[in-house]
Amino acid sequence: MDVLRNGEIIGYSNYFFEQKDNNMTVKNYTKFNVELFGVSIFSILSEAVEKYENDELISYKSNTFQNDKEKYVNLNYNQSSKKFIIDGSSYKGEASNDCVIGNWWNHKILKANWQISPLSGSVKEQVVIFLGKEDIIINGKNYLVDHFKLKSKNENLPKNKKLDFDIWYNAENNLILKVSYSRMGEWEYRLKNFE
């Protein structure tokens, strides 16, 4: 996916999938940088690995530098308690096994009630609203998509902690094609290509 801010490509978020028998590994590399008058005002450099067994998340690990500040998540599924154990830079504790990592490759985020921050491990309750079907053009190709609004359930959260995303999902390819939000500008994650 290309990462855009105010209509300009500033970086990428790429996902790589490895499937072997009932195991799947998803690797994510994200990098972008926002400059103002030649000075970097916001940057992300992140690597993450998600592991699934029989379509169930069993571990997640990420390391991120956001504006040179380190963030991390170490998550493991505990078989006996049936909960995720999270050691993150902003949350340490348990989470229900129906939470989804808040990544843009996984359309399950559109059905989940809770998401785990892929950067810091914080757990947020969310509401997803179906807005309707639309035709959108990405890289010169027309797609029929379902348009969703994903928001924090708690309206009293500070603005910089609230979830507030528009998501366009293509059922034919089972892919999230575009995500947009407003925070220090207009942001967009947009499909570049897929195999």
pLDDT at 160 over 80: no
* 195, part of any domain: no
| Residue 38 banded pLDDT, cuts 50, 70, 90 | confident
Residue 128 lies in a domain: yes
What is the CA 96 to chain-centroid distance, rounded? Answer: 18
Residue the block writes with tokens 């069993």? 58
Task: Give the pLDDT of residue 84.
Answer: 97
- Domain encompassing residue 66: 2-190
| Residue 45, domain member (yes or no) | yes
Q: Would you say residue 115 lies in a domain?
A: yes
Q: Taking residues 106-129, what's their average pLDDT?
A: 95
Query: Is the pLDDT reported for residue 60 higher than 80?
Result: yes
What is the pTM assigned to this prediction?
A: 0.91
Smallest Cα–Cα separation from 185: which of 71, 32, 82? 32
Mean pLDDT over 136-147 rounds to 94
The full DSSP string for 113-177 is SEEE-TTT--EEEEEEEEEEEEEEEETTEEEEEEEEEEEES-TTS-GGG--EEEEEEETTTTEEE
Nearest Cα neighbor of 87 from 122, 58, 113, 52 is 122
pLDDT > 90: percent of the chain: 85
In the chain, the number of structural domains is: 1
Answer whether residue 66 shows pLDDT above 80.
yes
- Give the separation between CA 183 and CA 1, rounded to whole angstroms: 19
Q: Is residue 80 part of a domain?
A: yes
